[in-house]
Structure 1
Amino acid sequence: MNKRIINPWEWQNERSYVQAVEVTKPEGTLYISGQTAIDDYGKSSTSNMKAQLILSIENLEKVIKEAGYECENIVRLNIYTTSSEELFTCFDVFQNWVTEHNIRQASTVLEVKSLFETLKIELEVTVVK
């Protein structure tokens, strides 16, 4: 796989995403359903945004590893949240995770009216190999 980052500007770097990612010659592409703060028994979290973000990331990592892919090869990551304001109070958790795994992904953050049951955040990802 060859991956090329396209960034005509620099300002997005502080926001932990890139403007575009071109992938050529991939061995595989993994499209992951939105991962949320649901435990191993299917119970939705009632915790705050930070705790839900952490569990959503952990669930996402579990799916990626189970499929034989790596977090660093995430090329698209959409964030759905019921409160952008609340998300940005703990956005450092997301940014630290992106930095730790050297993820350079195209992203969109969308505030939605609601998610399933008591959930506040959902991470939708595409990973390549």
Structure 2
Amino acid sequence: MNRRSINPWTWQRQRSYVQAVEVKNVAGTLYCSGQAAIADDGISSDKDMESQLRQAIANLENVIQTAGYLCSGIVRLNLYTTSMRELWPHFPILQEWIAKHQIEQALTALEVVGLFETLKVELEATVVK
């Protein structure tokens, strides 16, 4: 796989994303459904934003690894939250995970009216290898 990040500016580096990612010669592409704080038994979390963000990241990582891909192959990440204000103090958790896996991804973050049941944050990814 050949991968190139496109950044006409530098300010997005502080926010842990790139403006665009070009990928050529891909061996496979994994489109992940939104992953949220849902336990192995299918029960949605009713915990706070930090706990839900950590569980959503863990669930996304589990899906990616189970499929035989690496988190470093994430090229697109969509983040949905019921409250950007509530999420923002915990954003460094996501940034640390991105840095740990050396992910360079295009990112969209959206505040939505609601998510499934009691969920507060959801992560959706496109992964290549």
If the TM-score is normalised by the length of the shorter chain, which range does it land in? over 0.9
Deviation at 1:89, TM superposition (A): 1.0
Aligned to 2:82: 82
Q: What letter is aligned with 1:61?
A: E
**1: CA distance between counterparts of 2:66 and 2:15?**
28
* Root mean square deviation of aligned Cα: 0.3
Q: Secondary structure at the match of 2:108?
A: strand
Q: Secondary structure at the match of 2:8?
A: coil
Taking every aligned residue pair, what percent have the same amino acid on both sides?
61
Deviation at 1:46, TM superposition (A): 0.5
**2: CA distance between counterparts of 1:73 and 1:9?**
23
* Equivalence map 1:3-82=2 (5 Å): 3-82=3-82
Q: Secondary structure at the match of 1:102?
A: coil
Deviation at 1:11, TM superposition (A): 0.1
Q: Which runs of 5+ in 2 are unaligned?
A: none
| Superposed CA offset, 1:51-94 (max 9, x none) | 00000000000000000000001000000000000110100100
Deviation at 1:44, TM superposition (A): 0.3
Task: Return the TM-score normalized by structure 1.
Answer: 0.99
**2: CA distance between counterparts of 1:86 and 1:17?**
20
Number of matched pairs: 129
**1: CA distance between counterparts of 2:46 and 2:10?**
37
**2: CA distance between counterparts of 1:85 and 1:16?**
18
**2: CA distance between counterparts of 1:80 and 1:115?**
8
Task: Return the TM-score normalized by structure 2.
Answer: 0.99
Aligned to 1:121: 121
**1: CA distance between counterparts of 2:58 and 2:47?**
15
Q: Which runs of 5+ in 1 are unaligned?
A: none
Q: What letter is aligned with 1:84?
A: M
| Superposed CA offset, 1:26-61 (max 9, x none) | 000000000000000000000100000000000000
**2: CA distance between counterparts of 1:18 and 1:51?**
26
